[in-house]
Amino acid sequence: MNQPRFSLLKKLKKKGFAASFRALLRFVTDRAAEIEIGEVASSMALATLLAIVPVLALSLAVFAAFPSFADTRQALESLIETSFLPQQYSDVLVRYLKEFTSQAAGLTTFGLLGLGVTTFMLIDKLFITVNRIFKSGGQRPLPQRVLIYWALMTFGPIFVALSLTLTGKAASIALSGIEARTTAWLIVIGQLVLQSLAFAVIYKFIPRTPVQFTHALVGGSLVALIGQLVKQAFELYVSAGTMSNIYGAFVAVPVLILWIYISWLLFFTGAAVTATIPKLMAGRFMDSYRTGNDFVTGLVMLKHFVSLRLSGLSPVIALDELCDAADTYPEAAERILDGLYHAGYVAPVSAKGKDNVWVLVADSQKATLMSAFEWFCVNPDNSVLLPCHGNSRSEAAGALTHWWEQLRQSPALHRVLADVLRDDELLNHLRCRPAISSVTTQS
């Protein structure tokens, strides 16, 4: 149970890169289908069209308040020109955005408030969607969200543009004297690195759940690389003139909408990759598709809790240790522990220097597996299991009452945890385990 956790690269080598890639593709596809990623990207594209002017108006207004940031503002405009659309449409987009933002500067207080609300709604929708992908529980309090979103709207573009300015100056010095073709390739690589880091930071800090930076970096790098390839393919498609023949002078509008949709699709796909990498790290990741896996994984966790108590140690285990013990991933472990909590077996505690720690609260000499079986496998309140009453409207009511009573008498479900989950080999191993001290049960 105290064995060292393998790194991502070692795990992939152990399982084989081809098998790992196939499994990851399946996990990402399932997660994308679960959140209906196509519909989410469509709604985000529409919200972006409504909020793109307010976001840039607020950001550029901050630059306008500080004339010394003229170079930084120019870097932000260059980022828009080079990162969003093919060149011929980026110029049109930037020109329109400058006109819109200049007009937005003359709005009244209520008008500016409306722009702020529109921008807030876009960022809030982004946070909600990312947390849905990572299956993070709950939202931050509204005042806290307002402060975070306002900081993102005002200081975010400044930090991005400032980093681009400094990077550009450093690159111009470092690349002086190098031939143009090599310089162009190095600039592209530099953009990929910066974009990968930017996506990694987003995937790391937006979810309200712990995310390893290496996992976020994998997702961010994948999005940056695929995004660059998709951009080149998109530019070739647009340059073919098919859309120009259909839309004529208005072609910039559908091109912008289509590209925003593709961008959000890639962004959320990267989030899905980051969110499912921990699943790939688990040795039993394919068991998550097998019926009854939550029940048997919960029994493995209970086995380690009970073994700690039988060995005379405090039955307190951190989430990462439970993941190693059951060879599962944090998302599934948290879901199963929540079930064991409601069934009365474990409870979360606060521990000094440890996050997400759980303790066995059930008496291992009295508690049985019946509660776990009823929570994970068969709800005893199902009408087909309950005795049939004369006023029942269902013909199937009470159809399995006799079978259920026989199943409930199974000796395996009535033996106490200390007997049914005892493992002498594990007991000997756990006696060398350091205890987690300073724990407080959470209410």
Using alpha carbons only, what angle is made at residue 203 by residues 261 and 42, rounded to the nearest 5 degrees? 15
The span from the first CA to the last CA of the chain, in angstroms, equals: 27
* Token output for 163: 């980093």
Is the model's pLDDT at 107 over the cut of 80? no
Residue 245 burial (10 A CB sphere; 0-12, 13-18, 19+): exposed
Tokens describing residue 176: 């002086």
Alpha-carbon distance of 398 to 379, in angstroms, equals 14
Nearest C-alpha neighbor of 215 from the set 202, 229, 227: 202
Helices (H), 387-440: 401-408, 411-414, 417-420, 424-430
Count of CB atoms situated within 10 Å of the CB of 229: 9
- Alpha-carbon gap, residue 101 to 204, rounded angstroms: 31
pTM: 0.75
Q: Does residue 131 contact residue 207 with C-beta atoms inside 8 Å?
A: yes
Higher pLDDT, 18 or 128: 128
Please compute the mean of the pLDDT values over residues 414-421 and round it to a whole number: 91
Whether the pLDDT of residue 285 is over 70: the answer is: yes
Each residue of 381-414: b (16+ CB within 10 Å) or e? eeeebeeeeeeeeeeebbebeeebeeeeeeeebe
Predicted local distance difference test score (pLDDT) of residue 268:
95
Q: How far is CA 373 from CA 196, 296, 306, 378, in A?
A: 45, 10, 17, 7
Categorize the per-residue pLDDT at 21 as very low, low, confident or very high, splitting at 50, 70 and 90: confident
Looking at domain 285-369+415-441, which of 1.10.10.10, 1.10.287.130, 3.40.1190.10, 3.40.50.2020 is its CATH number? Answer: 1.10.10.10
Query: Distances in Å between the alpha carbon of 57 and those of 53, 65, 100, 137, 437?
Result: 6, 12, 8, 33, 53
* Residue bearing the bigger pLDDT, 194 or 52: 194
Contacts 24+ apart (CB under 8 A), 189-192: 191/82, 191/83, 191/228, 192/221, 192/224, 192/225, 192/228
pLDDT tens-digit readout, 22-45:
888 888 999 999 889 999 999 888
Say whether pLDDT at 157 is over 50.
yes
Q: Which amino acid makes up residue 34?
A: E
Q: How far apart are CA 131 and CA 209, in angstroms?
A: 8
* Angstrom distance (rounded) from CA 384 to CA 259: 53
Asked if the model's pLDDT at residue 160 lies above 50, the reply is: yes
C-alpha distances out from residue 173 to 1, 50, 167, 169, 259, Å = 52, 40, 10, 6, 33
Per residue in 290-314, pLDDT (tens digit) is 899 999 999 999 999 999 998 888 8
Residue linked to tokens 């972006």: 48
CA nearest neighbour of 256 among 96, 56, 103: 96
pLDDT, position 52: 72
List Cα–Cα distances, 82 to 187, 228, 232, 237, 365, in angstroms. Answer: 12, 11, 12, 17, 67
> What confidence score (pLDDT) does residue 62 get?
62
346/340 Cα distance (integer angstroms): 6
Check whether 399 has a pLDDT greater than 90. Answer: no
The CA distance from 412 to 368, in Å, is: 9
Residue-wise pLDDT for 162-207, tens only, equals 555 555 555 555 555 566 667 667 767 877 888 898 899 889 988 8
- Euclidean distance between CA atoms 119 and 50, whole angstroms: 8
In 3D space, the residue among 308, 317, 320 whose CA is nearest the CA of residue 428 turns out to be 308
416 versus 437: the higher-pLDDT residue is 416
Per residue in 62-86, pLDDT (tens digit) is 666 566 666 666 666 666 666 555 5
Residue 2 pLDDT class (50, 70, 90 cuts): very low
Does residue 108 or residue 348 have the better pLDDT? 348
Query: pLDDT for 211-266, tens place per residue?
Result: 889 999 999 999 999 988 888 887 777 777 666 677 666 677 777 788 889 989 99
Q: Which residues contact 122 (CB under 8 A, 6 or more apart)?
A: 44, 47, 48, 50, 51, 55
In single-letter form, the type of residue at position 413 comes to: L
The domain segmentation of the chain, as residue ranges, is 8-281, 285-369+415-441
- 436 vs 339: which has the higher pLDDT: 339
DSSP string for residues in 5-68: PPPHHHHHHHH-HHHHHHHHHHHHHHHHHHTTHHHHHHHHHHHHHHHHHHHHHHHHHHHHH-GG
Quickly tell me which residue has 């879901």 as its tokens.
335
| H or E element in which residue 130 lies | helix 109-133
State percent of the chain over pLDDT 90: 23
Beta bridge mates, 416? 368
Q: Hey, how many other C-beta atoms are within 10 angstroms of the C-beta on 251?
A: 19
Strand, helix or coil for residue 443: coil
Mean pLDDT, residues 99-119 taken together: 70
CA distances from 169 to 149, 163, 180, 282, 395 (A): 30, 10, 16, 44, 78
Residue 4, pLDDT > 60, answer no
Paired sense of beta strands 316-318 and 346-351, if any: unpaired
How large is the average pLDDT for residues 142-169? 67
State yes or no: pLDDT of 271 exceeds 90: yes
Per-residue model confidence (pLDDT) at position 61: 62
Residue with more model confidence, 265 or 153: 265
Q: What is the pLDDT of residue 191?
A: 76
For residue 356, the surrounding DSSP H or E stretch is: strand 354-360
- For the cut 50, the answer to whether the pLDDT of residue 3 exceeds it is no
**Cβ of 236: how many Cβ atoms within 10 Å?**
10
Q: What is the pLDDT of residue 346?
A: 95
pLDDT, averaged across the chain? 79
